[in-house]
Amino acid sequence: MERVVLVTGASSGVGLALCRRLLEEDGRIHLCIACRNVQKSEATRDLILATHPAARVSTVEVDLGNLVSVLRVARELRCRFQRLDFVYLNAGIMPNPHVNFKALWHGLLTGKVLHMLTTAEGIMTQTDRLNGDGLQEVFATNLFGHFILVRQLECLLCGNEKPSRLIWTSSSNARESAFSLSDYQHAKGQESYSSSKYATDLTSVVLNRKFNKQGLYSSVVCPGLVMSNMTYRILPVFLWKLLMPIMWLIRFFAKTYTLTPYNGAEAHVWLFKQKPEHLDALVKYHSCTSGLGKSYVEPRKFDVDEETAEKFYQKLLELEKETLERYSDLLD
């Protein structure tokens, strides 16, 4: 029986590379790509079929930052499939990023620059805003939209003959210092991306506790620093071109400088080949690349408190109940 794989954020970057690599691993899968609109979905499908003409590729459209869109696509997927074997929760945004060059210079003087360059700690901020649902846009797109999608697809993910998998794209920028239970949407801060990725890590931990016995397993990956549409918004393109030789050199010291989307998808693909029962629920799997260009996966323990994770999960359930009451007509 063919495996059904859903990938969000499939139109570019790690998502597109992941789709191609999954088909290289198993050309028999049914790959369902989720993009923001019909044009992106069809263009992405054409790109994939150009290199894998025999592949079975279907499309759905979803804006993870819009709850109506999420509920509609969940209903469509429930009608279309009897089960989902893998869901790659990869879509994400980082709006209006700003680099703090003063902090970067201070890091250079204090010897912390390599750590700052690999985690973006203290050197990158974002300006967030409310979306149409009254939620912080980054939180809604990167985490809550995916959370609602998973909750709406439980009937396709739980109780199957073989385990189903959730694989979240997190970040090395996911830091506890950027996250607060009292402001979990990060309305008051300037590190909404970091906060949303730390919230992703917390969510995955609790999902395993709640759903492993029902055959659903959750994992978190970090693609490393990848040159993608998201990255190119941080600095002007000409500056990235000037920096690229330096970044290739940094990779000899910073193995998470994967740089290409193909390398960034290494951990995603590695997890595709693993038995979930043997994986550690408290580990994040990092895509790494050696200075000579060899890709590999490095597991690292989460920097998460399980009690905080449980409290946050309960807040997600409360927000879910509150928001879905407005859209009862879209629920079965």
- Active centre residues (catalytic): 193
Whether residue 231 contacts residue 264, with contact meaning beta carbons closer than 8 Å, is answered with no
Tokens 């890091």 sit at which residue? Answer: 107
Whether residue 149 contacts residue 70, with contact meaning beta carbons closer than 8 Å, is answered with yes
d(Cα 171, Cα 223) in Å, to the nearest integer? 7
Whether residue 331 contacts residue 324, with contact meaning beta carbons closer than 8 Å, is answered with yes
- Terminal alpha carbon distance of the chain: 28
d(Cα 167, Cα 165) in Å, to the nearest integer? 6
d(Cα 204, Cα 147) in Å, to the nearest integer? 10
d(Cα 123, Cα 183) in Å, to the nearest integer? 21
d(Cα 87, Cα 168) in Å, to the nearest integer? 8
Whether residue 123 contacts residue 116, with contact meaning beta carbons closer than 8 Å, is answered with yes
3 state SS of 89: strand
Give me 86's structure tokens: 């893998």
Q: Which of 169, 192, 166, 149 is nearest to 63 (CA)?
A: 149
**Amino acid symbol at 52:** H
Tokens 């920097």 sit at which residue? Answer: 303
